[in-house]
Amino acid sequence: MKNLILCLALVVAGCNGGCGGGDGGDGGGGGGGGGGGGGGNNPYTGTWKGDVSGWAVSLAITEATALGNTYAIKGTTTTNKASCFSTGKLNGTITPEAGATLVAESTGGETTIKIEGPVANGKITANVVSESDIEGCAVQNPSVTFTRQ
């Protein structure tokens, strides 16, 4: 009975593990407890790097929040081409079946980088389009591989 009360208390409190077994009644031993919840290795957070037509692009995904089978992505993007895009916010989604749809906007808002493509085995194979008000900063590359570092 003590285990049942403990189990109910843990469920109400949001316990992520299993509950212990019964108390065994008169003379029997109680059952074993359940295992705890799994760790939290998110397959999408971290730094992803790729080369876009000579630009070294780094996607630092700091948040990948699961919403069903889709992950809402937030982070920052940096490039080595500061005249076009030095740093900016990264937002979008990743769905295991559909892939990544990410948008990075430079801090000043003059350049946007769109990244779309499948995600598998620590790689995003993407079509990348950079749209910019700055001359020479609009590029399109249909096959860029971003690799998780």
Domains of the chain, by residue range, sit at 1-39, 46-148
Backbone angles phi, psi at 4, to 5 degrees: -65, -45
Residues 6 or more apart whose Cβ sits within 8 Å of residue 12 = none
Q: Rounded to two decimals, what is the model's pTM? A: 0.71
Interacting residues of 9 by C-beta distance below 8 A, sequence separation 6+? none
Per-residue pLDDT at 26: 53
Q: Distance (Å, rounded) from C-alpha 148 to C-alpha 143?
A: 16
Which residue bears the tokens 């399109």?
140
- Tell me the Ramachandran region of residue 12: left when phi exceeds 0, alpha when psi lies from -120 to 50, beta otherwise: alpha
Three-state DSSP state, 19: coil
Output the average pLDDT for the chain.
81
What does the pLDDT average to over 115-142? 95
CATH superfamily of 46-148: Avidin-like (2.40.128.30)
Residue 100 vs residue 38, higher pLDDT: 100
- pLDDT one-digit tens code per residue, 33-69: 444 444 457 889 999 999 998 999 999 999 999 999 9
How far is it, in rounded angstroms, from Cα 127 to Cα 84? Answer: 19
For the stretch 1-39, pLDDT in tens is 443 333 333 333 344 444 444 444 455 445 444 444 444
Q: Which pLDDT score is estimated for 2?
A: 40
Residue with more model confidence, 137 or 32: 137
Q: Write out the two tokens for 64.
A: 């990948």
Question: pLDDT value at position 42?
Answer: 86
